[in-house]
Structure formats: C-alpha cells, structure tokens
Amino acid sequence: MNCERVSPSLMRGSLGHSHLLGIRQEPAQAGDILMTTDAALLAQAARGEQGALVRFYEWACPTVSLGFHQSEEILEHDAMQREGVPWVRRPTGGAAVLHSEELTYCLILPPDHPFQSDRSALQHTGQALTQGLCALGIAAELVPRGHPSENLPDRTSCFVRTSRWEVCVQGKKIVGSAQRLLNGALLQHGSILCGPDHLRLVQLLRLPSLKVRHDLSSRLRVASTSVAEESGQPFDMMQLRQEMAQAFQEEFAIASNVLAI
C-alpha cells in the first residue's frame, strides 16, 4: 500500500451528515463498560440516532472477550481467577481474544452509509488500519482473501488465522476484527496488537490436552505479531492513536466522496 498522506483539501465533498466520520479518543475502561457502549452505539445507529463514528480505546486491565456465539465453556475459569483476568462477551462474532497491550477501534456505520455492507466496511477499514501502521514505519499489508476455515484450534483464538481483508506484516496478523449487523447498521471493532501479552490467552483456555495447548501456543506465536515487535523500539500509544485517527478520517472521507460521484 502507498503510505503517502493525502492532502486534506482532497477530503472535502458533498457527504451527508450521517456519513461524516466522527472520531473519539477515549480512556481505558473496564471490558463490560466498553462492550455495553459498543452495543448501545450500534442500537442507536440502527434507530437512526447515531452517525458514522470510530472510537479508539484501551482496556483497564487484561480481559478475555468471547465472540457473540462462542461458548464460555472454552474458558479455564480457575486459571483466569488465579491470574485475575475477567471475561466479557462481545456483541460481534469471532473467537476469543485476550485484550492486553493493544489499541482497540470501534467503527459504527448507520444503515444509509456507503460502506454499511460487511465486505465494504472490512476493506476500507483494513485500508485505514494499514495506512496508520505504515505511518509508524511498519510494513503492514492488507490480505484480501485470508485463510480457509479449519477445525479447532483455529476457532478458539482470533489471531491464529487470518480472515478476509485483515492486516498482516509478512504474513503475521497484527489486527483482528469482527462485525455485527443490526437492521442495516454495522458495528466493526478490532484489536491492534501493541505487545506480546495476547499470547497468554492459551493459558486461559480449556483445551482437550497438553498437546493441543502446546500446538495452539506455537501456532499463535507464528501467526501473530505486534507494533512493538515490528517497530523494534518502544512505541508511543498516543502517536498510534493519532496516526489511526488520521488514517480513518482520510480513508472514509476520500472513499465516500468517490462513491458519491
């Protein structure tokens, strides 16, 4: 992807109010508050009360989230209690994530937005995420097709396999995303990995054998990476937030203008 910034003068056009992307930089909060807020924003967008919005946030403490349809039986509750790690259920689908050392984005699109289809949102969000990482000197690339679905353990951890339009660095996944549609409105949120603590998820899952646990741990290490690992130096979370906000603003304004022609 071309990592050059586009002039703000090219981002002006006749966009409807609900199409203009609002941006919120929010502080770290508990996982249940974060997920409740995401779900509430989706419901508001479905009722026509919320326009296009992306918010960026961190988690107050390491927290496991499960996909909307994922059974909590996958969790090793004793291990989670020992580690002091709570869990929440996401309003979106997908597999388990340990939210720690990451920046999370939450994208809300109302039903009449040009990108409200799941495929279009994945593509344009992926392009924004890639652009933001490129601005930090990370050789991120968008993967249009992803990997085919496989049996366990791929269904247990989000970062073991790459889905369509996800962001990787040299084949390793650095952002994991999930979606939900509600009456035409769309919620997409995802984890931008900033450090290696997501690997600890394997110790918090109930798996059938030590071999499966070892195999999943090995695959997760091979399949994923982080901002810190790829930059090779301490990263600035505020800079990451700023670069992502600018990349989303540019991608959504430019692409919306193109679609409106």
The residues assigned a catalytic role are 158
| Cα–Cα distance for residue pair 92/186, rounded to 1 Å | 10
**For the chain, what is the radius of gyration of the CA atoms?**
18
Two tokens at 257?
A: 């203008």
Structure tokens at 253: 């304004």
CB atoms within 10 A of CB 261: 6
